[in-house]
């Protein structure tokens, strides 16, 4: 730290003495910024002129501050997180998914002896949300987002993650209520999500989701409802195969997924 300026120097500085050369003024100012004691001494040596000037500045500043809008409050991190990851366009689709799962649980309790509906629809649960995650006609801000670096791949993956973050807890709850094996619900669900993304690189995510939902409904859900038996693909011993499929499909999807970085998407 520099040596403190003498009281005479501070007096001359406060009075705006023209005899004080520029270099000394700078030295005093630099010192004043760091030294509270010298600032207190300066306050004692101010002249009436200086005090009235400071008062005028303070008054004008207060006036300006009163006119200007209030400073923005600190944004809560939860609301930022929610806005950025779970854009409002996804909410109706997620609400629908959760409602369908709740209905499946309810029907499962009413129809004892039938195959568990929750188990049958669990693989399809994230697909409606994934299908609308990055779609021209469903996202109102699609056009502006399409010109940002987050267009395509990044937004699709972020929103898919958001969909899974909602759907998986819902599935866990539904599974706990109906007593279906958790692995048998989650592994097919993840495998179908990865398959949608993988197929989406070829024909577009929405078409891929619609195709998979239709195929699963026709091939698995409808026959098992008519025969009232759990299909072989969802038997307890197939959980390991589903888990393997989920891993393989996820890896394949990540290898192919650069396709979403291209401009024109099939959607």
| By CB under 8 A, residue 160 contacts another protein | no
Long-range pairs for 27-31: beta carbons < 8 A, 24 or more residues apart: 27/2, 30/2, 31/1, 31/2, 31/4, 31/5
Q: Can residue 135 be called a binding residue for another protein (CB under 8 A)?
A: no
Per the listing, tokens 């393989």 go with: 248
User: Which residues from 88-117 bind another protein, rule CB under 8 A?
Assistant: 88-89
83 binds another protein (CB under 8 A): yes
From 148, 181, 214, 227, residue interacting with another protein (rule: CB under 8 A): 148
Backbone angles phi, psi at 181, to 5 degrees: -60, 135
Compute the least distance from the CB of residue 261 to another protein, in Å: 6
Q: Is 139 in the site for another protein (CB under 8 A)?
A: yes
Q: How far apart are CA 109 and CA 103, in angstroms?
A: 10
Q: 172: how many CB neighbours lie within 10 A of its CB?
A: 13
CA distances from 3 to 20, 30, 31 (A): 17, 11, 8
Q: How far is the CB of 221 from another protein (least distance, A)?
A: 35
Q: With the C-alpha atoms ordered 235, 238, 240, 245, is the resulting torsion angle positive or negative?
A: negative
Contact pick of 117, 151, 167, 213 for another protein (by CB under 8 A): 151
Calculate the CA 198 to chain-centre distance. Answer: 23
Q: Would you count residue 267 as binding another protein (CB under 8 A)?
A: no
Cα(256)–Cα(252) distance, rounded to whole angstroms?
A: 6
Please report whether residue 138 would count as binding another protein according to CB under 8 A: no
Distance of alpha carbon 119 from alpha carbon 185, whole angstroms: 6
Binding mask 21-60 vs another protein (x if CB under 8 A, - otherwise)?
----------------------------------------
Q: Which stretch binds another protein (CB under 8 A): 31-39, 54-62, 188-196, 259-267?
A: 259-267
Give the binding range for another protein (CB under 8 A) out of 34-42, 104-112, 143-151, 189-197: 143-151
| Choices 41-49, 102-110, 112-120, 150-158 (CB under 8 A): range interacting with another protein | 150-158
Query: For residue 134, what is the DSSP state?
Result: T
**Options 42-50, 80-88, 175-183, 197-205: segment touching another protein (CB under 8 A):** 80-88
User: Which positions touch another protein (CB under 8 A)?
Assistant: 68-69, 72, 80, 83-84, 87-89, 139-151, 155, 261-264
């Amino acid at each position: 730290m520099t040596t403190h300026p003498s009281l005479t120097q501070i007096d001359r500085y406060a009075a705006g003495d023209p005899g004080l050369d520029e270099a000394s003024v700078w030295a005093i100012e630099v010192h004043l910024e760091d030294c509270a004691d010298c600032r207190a001494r300066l306050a004692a040596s101010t002249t009436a002129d200086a005090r009235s000037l400071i008062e005028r500045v303070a008054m004008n500043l207060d006036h300006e501050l009163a006119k200007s809008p209030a400073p923005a409050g600190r944004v809560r991190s939860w609301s930022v997180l929610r806005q950025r990851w779970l854009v409002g366009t996804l909410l109706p689709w997620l609400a629908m998914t959760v409602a369908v799962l709740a209905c499946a649980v309810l029907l499962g309790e009413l129809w004892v002896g039938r195959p568990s509906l929750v188990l049958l629809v669990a693989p399809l649960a994230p697909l409606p949300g994934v299908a609308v995650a990055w779609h021209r006609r469903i996202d109102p801000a699609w056009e502006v987002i399409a010109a940002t670096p987050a267009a395509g791949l990044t937004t699709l993956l972020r929103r898919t993650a958001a969909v899974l973050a909602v759907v998986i807890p819902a599935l866990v709850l539904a599974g706990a209520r109906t007593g279906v094996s958790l692995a048998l619900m989650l592994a097919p669900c993840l495998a179908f999500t990865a398959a949608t993304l993988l197929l989406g690189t070829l024909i577009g995510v929405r078409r891929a989701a619609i195709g998979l939902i239709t195929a699963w409904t026709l091939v698995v859900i409808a026959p098992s409802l008519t025969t009232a038996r759990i299909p072989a693909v969802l038997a307890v011993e197939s959980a390991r195969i589903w888990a393997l499929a989920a891993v393989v499909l996820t890896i394949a999807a990540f290898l192919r997924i650069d396709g979403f970085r291209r401009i024109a998407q099939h959607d």
